[in-house]
Structure 1
């Protein structure tokens, strides 16, 4: 071990070198998240966590009898795939984050077992708030 090396400081252990602040963000800026294929296991885990018991989310035969190709994902099951913590965003704002105030979602297509999602966060509004900038 090199005795001349500086001691390890956990506060310096970061995913990104520079923090971002409110003025560093731009409208339309996107933060991709890892892709994820919606497996039967993800459907099962969501059903167990949510308590949602509608057969459209867990019964293949029920879905097929109604013309659906497979089980249909619940909207919240799709929305949780966009958790900011899954990507680099929370590391960019580690020092500047004051609070997570709101989130919105827009569903463009139904999601079925086997579909792969490519989520991204996008800055669509920048509103300074007193005490938060």
Structure 2
């Protein structure tokens, strides 16, 4: 995660809260540095941001649902490791729902995001 990544996301999201860019503002409020946007973190768990599409092939139909909990702050300079782990399969005729646990760990092994995603896939 770099300052450029955070600035680009801030521009795209239009979220200009000072917690995301003003180092002095964040320090006065107990943060060690500006905090990366939560939605930017969540984007790193999208199927295409992981190896998931390489394992499922051409069966993806849609992203149905997601939930997550932000467990620790992320700052520029952190290295992030997103992962999706299949936790459930729900066949439905010619389609099925795949449930995954979504996680992101930082370079120290700290779990910074935990969640769940559901996808609709074609059965092969």
Q: State whether TM-score is above 0.5.
A: yes
The answer to whether structure 1 residue 62 and structure 2 residue 25 are counterparts is yes
CA RMSD of aligned residues (A): 1.6
Q: Per-residue displacement from partner, 1:76-101 (whole Å, max 9, x unpaired)?
A: 01111222213332122223222222
Aligned length in residues: 96
Structure 1 partner of 2:91: 128
Q: Per-residue displacement from partner, 1:10-61 (whole Å, max 9, x unpaired)?
A: xxxxxxxxxxxxxxxxxxxxxxxxxxxx211111011000000110011111
Higher radius of gyration, 1 or 2: 1
**Per-residue deviation, 1:64:** 0.9
Q: Residues 51-90 of structure 1: matches in 2 within 5 Å?
A: 51-90=14-53
What are structure 2's unaligned runs of at least 5 residues?
96-122
> What TM-score comes out, normalization by structure 1 length?
0.64
Structure 1 partner of 2:7: 44
**Per-residue deviation, 1:104:** 2.6
What are structure 1's unaligned runs of at least 5 residues?
1-37
In the alignment, the residues of structure 1 paired with residue 68 and residue 92 of structure 2 have an alpha-carbon distance, to the nearest angstrom, of 22
Structure 1 partner of 2:58: 95
**Per-residue deviation, 1:75:** 1.0
Tell me whether 77-86 or 101-110 shows the greater mean CA deviation. Answer: 101-110
Q: Which has the higher contact order (CA 8 A, sep 6+)?
A: 1
